Amino acid sequence: MRTIRFLLQKEFRQIFRDKNLMRSILIAPVIQLLVLPWAANFEVKNILLAVVDHDHSSYSQKLISKISSSGYFKLVGAYELYEDAFKMIETDKADLILEIPAQFEKKLVREKEQKVFIAVNAINGVKAGLGGSYLGNIINDFNGEIRMQWIPSARFNQGPVMEITASNWFNPMMNYKIFMVPGILVMLVTMIGGIMCSLNIVKEKEIGTIEQINVTPIKKYHFILGKLIPFWVIGMVVFTIGLIIARLVYGIIPAGNIGVLYSFLAIYLLAVLGLGLLISTYSSTQQQAMSISFFFIMIFNLMSGLFTPIESMPLWAQVIARLDPLSYFIAVMRMVVLKGSGFADVKYHLLAVVGFAVFLNGWAIINYKKRS
């Protein structure tokens, strides 16, 4: 223990002495947690809509007003010709075109049906899909309102009526930030632990102190623990700061026991730091370690289910996602914060992360011993 204490003193002094490193560890995650949840939002609003109205009737005006007042669309102009509206899409000044045909109201009243034309700029697939879906739902709702006006109320009372009531569990207000902030916090802790730890041993190699350490009577596991524990503590501190920001800025209070989160975090950090140590044993320079760490962290982030559900991925991608420790912690964060899950609910996630921690740290220790 005395040897580990001296190593920890050395490591913490090196960390606190490097002002740029301290800014990267503490200040950068705070800024990212304040900015990213506002940007990482899949709710599409302010969709630019160009309208071509060939009818100019009261019904067509009501439809346009209903679309504009929905809060999802921004009317960029009304045009007489479809070609003029299409130029707006070509110049990226419009995302959708709604073309209302001539005699829209007349045919709707006489023939009880009418068609409208929607053209969608599909360069941005997500925005195109959601924009087209929003517009279709608004038109269907408008159609329902018209039918309610035309059909006598007596016809609706001839038979039983089934009423559907929907309730949203765990996130009643459908606030996207409550869903995203826990995942983003896990991503930031992973980046701090994985990247910073991977640079640690490599820095010793570059400045030449690794050779001095190798000739001392310090045991291998003493050296590994001395490198791992400081960043384990820093990861805990960053996570705590993130929870404070989540509560003060976004009003997120975990529904479950916060002890479950910290217990899972303690083991998860061992897995992430083990990956960083493993990368550092294979790297000769900090640039190599940074490149390899960034490669793995990017894959972990994209395959973790943070932005897209793992269940919607192809089967081969789901298999890769199950080998991603980040996916397990993001799932646990959302389960505990939103649903109030306990240890019994996350036990399989915990076992998986324990396996990652044992495997990665064991590999790092064996590989460091072979290369020493």
In this structure, the answer to whether residues 310 and 186 fall within a common structural domain is: yes
Helices (H), 283-338: 286-302, 315-321, 325-334
pLDDT at 218: 74
In this structure, the answer to whether residues 219 and 343 fall within a common structural domain is: yes
Last residue of a domain, one of 133, 157, 181: 157
pLDDT at 348: 94
pLDDT, tens digit only, all 372 positions of the chain: 777 787 788 778 877 787 777 777 778 888 888 888 887 666 677 889 999 999 988 888 999 999 988 888 999 989 989 999 999 988 888 999 999 999 888 888 777 778 899 999 888 777 788 888 889 889 888 887 877 776 655 454 555 556 667 777 888 877 888 888 999 999 999 988 888 888 877 877 777 777 677 677 777 777 778 888 888 999 999 999 999 999 999 999 999 999 999 999 999 999 999 998 889 888 888 888 889 998 998 899 889 988 888 888 899 999 989 999 999 999 999 999 999 999 999 999 999 999 999 999 888 888 876 444
3-state helix, strand, coil in the chain (%, to 5): 70, 5, 25
- Give me the torsion for CA of 300, 306, 309, 311, rounded to 10°: 40
Tell me the torsion sign for CA atoms 303, 304, 307, 309. Answer: positive
pLDDT at 370: 45
In this structure, the answer to whether residues 147 and 92 fall within a common structural domain is: yes
**Is 204 inside a domain boundary?**
yes
Two structure tokens written together for 220: 């291998």
In this structure, the answer to whether residues 88 and 236 fall within a common structural domain is: no
Two structure tokens written together for 203: 């820095």
In this structure, the answer to whether residues 36 and 129 fall within a common structural domain is: no
In this structure, the answer to whether residues 139 and 283 fall within a common structural domain is: no
pLDDT at 111: 76
Residue burial 213-238, b: 16+ Cβ < 10 Å; e: rest? beeeeeeeebbbbbbbbbbbebbeeb
- How far, in Å, CA of 92 to CA of 124, rounded? 11
**Is 195 inside a domain boundary?**
yes
Q: What would the DSSP string read from start to end of 331-368?
A: HHHHIIIII---HHHHHHHHHHHHHHHHHHHHHHHHHH
Last residue of a domain, one of 157, 182, 197: 157
In this structure, the answer to whether residues 135 and 244 fall within a common structural domain is: no
- How far, in Å, CA of 67 to CA of 222, rounded? 66
pLDDT at 330: 94
In this structure, the answer to whether residues 223 and 280 fall within a common structural domain is: yes
In this structure, the answer to whether residues 217 and 318 fall within a common structural domain is: yes
Number of domains in the chain: 2
Threshold 0.95, pTM exceeds = no
Q: 73 φ, ψ to 5°?
A: -120, 145
Two structure tokens written together for 290: 């940074």
**Is 165 inside a domain boundary?**
no
- How far, in Å, CA of 274 to CA of 293, rounded? 12
In this structure, the answer to whether residues 143 and 279 fall within a common structural domain is: no
Left (φ > 0), alpha (ψ -120 to 50) or beta: where does 78 sit? Answer: beta
Within 10 Å of residue 316's Cβ, how many Cβ atoms? 8
Q: What would the DSSP string read from start to end of 217-282?
A: S--HHHHHHHHHHHHHHHHHHHHHHHHHHHHHHH----SS-HHHHHHHHHHHHHHHHHHHHHHHHH
pLDDT at 225: 82
Last residue of a domain, one of 157, 190, 223: 157
**Domain span holding position 86:** 47-157
Q: What is the CATH number of the domain that holds 60?
A: 3.40.1710.10
pLDDT at 372: 44
In this structure, the answer to whether residues 350 and 270 fall within a common structural domain is: yes
**Is 198 inside a domain boundary?**
yes
CA 98, distance to chain mean position in Å, is 32
In this structure, the answer to whether residues 231 and 140 fall within a common structural domain is: no
